[in-house]
Structure 1
Amino acid sequence: MAAPGGGEGPAGLAGGPAAGGALWAEVRALLPGAEEGLTLALSGEVEDCVLPLLRRARGLLYGEAGRPCGAAAAALQRLGDVLRDYSWEKLNAGPWREVSKAWRQVYAYGCLFGALAEVAAGRPLAPAVRLCDMGLLMGASVLDNVLARLVRVLQAHLPGGKRRAAAEGSAKRVRTDPPPVPVVQPEVALPHVHCPSLEHFRDNYLIPQKPVVLEGIIDHWPCMKKWSVDYFCQVAGCRTVPVELGTRYTDEEWSQKLMTVSDFINQYIVNENTVGYLAQHQLFDQVFGRKYIRLYSPQDSENLYPHESQILHNTSQVDVEDPDLVKFPNFRKAAFQSCILMPGQVLFIPVKYWHYVRSLDISFSVSFWWS
């Protein structure tokens, strides 16, 4: 189907029509050169009405002008909306594990066509970036993961002022009433080891399943000097991510939400202070800020009063720092080890150890799990 309206798209991108044309050329280079190259391959069956919609959208994208504009761009946007709305119902009709990959691919195509329509029409790029992120989060890979490649191009073309504004907003998050720092008594303090060899770590901690704080093993990471809250706003503030909101995920007000990184940073400070155990080994790497951590051995599981439901069976009912000892009397029998994890330190948490974590500052950690 030929795209009506001639060859030049409307102005609206930073830098005017010429800049917009340059961006479209860069975006268009991510796609197959010919219409038949965009195969619209799906991993399973979908309803009969879907493939004609996909083909119509593809036809608009590969019209005579090489860039859908005017009525063609509007039609491409509408088709993207229809594909996303239709597949969204399929994605949310039951448990996620039962969702067909084919419907996730349809959703990804809907996001792709919608994002391309935004760019072709010369509109601001933030909505196109969000569409790419939604396709990456909820869809399945199509065209050699084209959405990941597309969003990198679009993010590089976002106006610099938008990134600066996201970073400048971070000042609103500074706490005026930081919580008191717990005192770690020597008798419960976790051991610290500086740069152990792999053999020493394996023989003394991994095999015997003993937690330990490792020092000096991530000092060479570039993130130790580069990462900060402002840095995240600058490099990823416009990106949409899933976040968990609430003090603890056993509370009624706990929820999950999709939002941009900058909105999350500027609006929320979340401390995860639930007691739960891990089904795998973990290396908990502290990049910036401090965290207070307690560990309880699997042998004390009964004294931690796990929830009875299958979903929360690995979560304790006890408020560790203010326990209700009338309701949970055996909690006083539970022995623990603790530490204040500082930037550059790594905590090894053995499998099935119960852990309690409370942020003492605005902080960032990286976790590695393995079986």
Structure 2
Amino acid sequence: MNLADIPRVSYITKDDFIEHYFKPQKPVVLERAIEDWPAFDKWNLDYMKKIAGDKIVPLYDNRPVQHKDGFNEPHAKMKMADYVDLLKNEPTKYRIFLWNILKEVPVLQKDYTFPDFGLKLLKGLPMLFFGGKDSYTFMHYDIDLANIFHFHFDGEKEVVLFPQSETKNLYKVPHSLITHESIDFSNPDYEKWPILERASGYKTTLSHGEVLYMPEGYWHYMKYNSPGFSMSLRAMARNPKNLAKASYNILIMRYYDVLMRKLKGQDWIDWKNKKAISRTNKSLETLVEK
């Protein structure tokens, strides 16, 4: 894959962000954007254990999607205190994602403010994501194709991004938001996934207090190099094409996929994974013919 380093800036004005990153839809890492937040000094795994230790949290690992697991059903549950101990004491694939702190631990809202980047952030949807060393998310994009600001705390996280224009090279699974789950985007096997070599994207490693801007609908893969967590804030897509695609995903695609899972079970999932390969390979065959 052709991966360029994501640009980095220490500080940026709202006007510069809009002009140089939002309008051209390019990612950027803001290195010192939240040093005035109480969260910058307070938020680490020990603090989360202290403030939310009694909360029961849903956990997910890296196993491929299986019909028997249910749709978005957690693979395990435990108290946050026990989960933090697990993260700190041994490698684990268990992750927390889309954990709404407004609902679960309202006091955490006092530790941050909504930054003014020139976009209207959705204040009801701050989400936390946790992971252990070497755990990762499958390459995916968000259902609403939002503009995302990803605030990282504690540890280091490896990130790989692709714009929607690279979808044809990523072995996208049809009727879903993910690529084929067998691909290791940290160390891809080009003999097995040859078309990935045509993909052009971005990479970076996030450390405590850094903020990653991911433009509308960007594909993203994230791997925890050490135990840690992040918070995401989002703003609605502005591009009419992306808004239309988001509406289709939310109102039609996800319900169709759920229906087909109920009707065909694992056969539907297996068919989608095979199609991810055959459709992507076909695009290469078409290119060669031309």
Secondary structure class of the residue paired with 1:195: coil
Match runs of 1:184-263 below 5 Å: 188-241=4-57, 243-247=58-62, 250=65, 256=74, 257-263=76-82
Quick check: 1:273 aligned with 2:88?
no
Shift, 1:224, TM fit: 1.5
Q: 1:193 to 1:367 in 2, by over 3 A?
A: same
From 197, 204, 224, the equivalent of 1:359 is 224
Q: 1:363 to 1:319 in 2, by over 3 A?
A: same
Q: Deviations over 1:285-343 (max 9, x none)?
A: 112211011111211101001112x2xx2111132123343442211100121111111
How far apart, in 1, do the equivalents of 2:209 and 2:51 lie?
22
Q: 1:218 to 1:284 in 2, by over 3 A?
A: same
Match runs of 1:157-172 below 5 Å: none
Shift, 1:229, TM fit: 1.7
The code of the aligned residue for 2:51 comes to: V
Secondary structure class of the residue paired with 1:321: coil
Quick check: 1:314 aligned with 2:177?
yes
How far apart, in 1, do the equivalents of 2:153 and 2:35 lie?
10
TM-score (structure 2 length as normaliser): 0.58
**Larger RCO: Structure 1 or Structure 2 (Cα < 8 Å, ≥ 6 residues apart)?**
2
Q: Decide whether the 8 Å contact of 1:189 with 1:338 is kept in 2.
A: yes
Structure 1 counterpart of 2:211: 346
Secondary structure class of the residue paired with 2:159: strand
How far apart, in 2, do the equivalents of 1:329 and 1:222 lie?
46
Secondary structure class of the residue paired with 1:188: strand
Q: Decide whether the 8 Å contact of 1:244 with 1:255 is kept in 2.
A: no
How far apart, in 2, do the equivalents of 1:277 and 1:229 lie?
27
Secondary structure class of the residue paired with 1:262: helix
Q: Decide whether the 8 Å contact of 2:150 with 2:230 is kept in 1.
A: yes
Secondary structure class of the residue paired with 1:213: strand
Q: Decide whether the 8 Å contact of 2:45 with 2:154 is kept in 1.
A: no
Q: Decide whether the 8 Å contact of 2:5 with 2:202 is kept in 1.
A: yes
Shift, 1:346, TM fit: 0.5
Secondary structure class of the residue paired with 1:264: helix
Q: Which has the higher helix share?
A: 1
Q: Deviations over 1:47-89 (max 9, x none)?
A: xxxxxxxxxxxxxxxxxxxxxxxxxxxxxxxxxxxxxxxxxxx
Instruction: Structure 1: give runs of 5+ residues left out of the alignment.
Output: 1-184
The code of the aligned residue for 1:366 comes to: M
The code of the aligned residue for 1:348 comes to: Y
From 230, 241, 264, the equivalent of 2:83 is 264
Identity of aligned residues (%): 27
Q: 1:258 to 1:298 in 2, by over 3 A?
A: same
The code of the aligned residue for 1:342 comes to: S
Quick check: 1:296 aligned with 2:115?
no
Shift, 1:248, TM fit: 5.2
Count the aligned residue pairs. Answer: 182
Shift, 1:199, TM fit: 0.7
Q: Deviations over 1:246-302 (max 9, x none)?
A: 125637879504432113223463323311113211001112211011111211101
TM-score (structure 1 length as normaliser): 0.46
Q: Decide whether the 8 Å contact of 2:138 with 2:179 is kept in 1.
A: yes
Structure 2 counterpart of 1:145: none
Q: Decide whether the 8 Å contact of 2:7 with 2:28 is kept in 1.
A: yes
Q: Decide whether the 8 Å contact of 2:44 with 2:153 is kept in 1.
A: no
Shift, 1:212, TM fit: 0.5
The code of the aligned residue for 1:328 comes to: W
Secondary structure class of the residue paired with 2:25: coil
How far apart, in 1, do the equivalents of 2:186 and 2:50 lie?
36
How far apart, in 2, do the equivalents of 1:248 and 1:339 lie?
25
Which protein has the larger Cα radius of gyration, Structure 1 or Structure 2? 1
Q: Deviations over 1:329-361 (max 9, x none)?
A: 211100121111111110000011111100111
RMSD value over aligned CA atoms?
2.3
Q: Decide whether the 8 Å contact of 2:149 with 2:233 is kept in 1.
A: yes
